[in-house]
């Protein structure tokens, strides 16, 4: 008997940025955090600019228009 593996794309549903970390909640219930130092544009951004994000690709990534930053969920899940 074989097992069918179904690959599910991890999708972001919520994003927040604290003074030192990026926090992303995924549709499957996982929560990710990464040091803000990994993302210099967000590190230098104002609090208001950090709040101005939108999901792209149906949640495959996050975009901050004000600072021209795009971060994929896949990159957050891979080791830096």
| Residue 3: inside a domain | no
Q: What is the pTM of this model?
A: 0.87
pLDDT, block means (10 residues), the chain with 80 residues: 74 97 97 96 97 98 98 87
Is 5 inside a domain boundary? no
- Measure the CA–CA gap between 1 and 79, rounded to whole angstroms: 34
Q: What is the model's pLDDT at position 7?
A: 72
CA atoms within 13 A of residue 62's CA, in its CB half-sphere:
26
Q: Is residue 50 part of a domain?
A: yes
- At 4 the pLDDT is 73
For residue 1, the model assigns a pLDDT of 62
Q: What CATH number is associated with residue 26?
A: 3.30.2020.40
What range defines the domain where residue 29 resides?
A: 12-77
């Amino acid at each position: 008997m074989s097992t069918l593996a179904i690959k599910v794309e991890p999708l972001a549903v919520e994003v927040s940025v604290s003074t030192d970390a990026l926090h992303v909640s995924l549709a499957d219930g996982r929560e990710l955090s990464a040091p803000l130092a990994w993302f210099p544009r967000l590190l230098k951004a104002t609090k208001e600019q950090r709040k101005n994000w939108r999901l792209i690709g149906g949640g495959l990534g996050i975009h901050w228009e004000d600072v021209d930053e795009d971060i994929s969920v896949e990159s957050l899940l891979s080791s830096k």
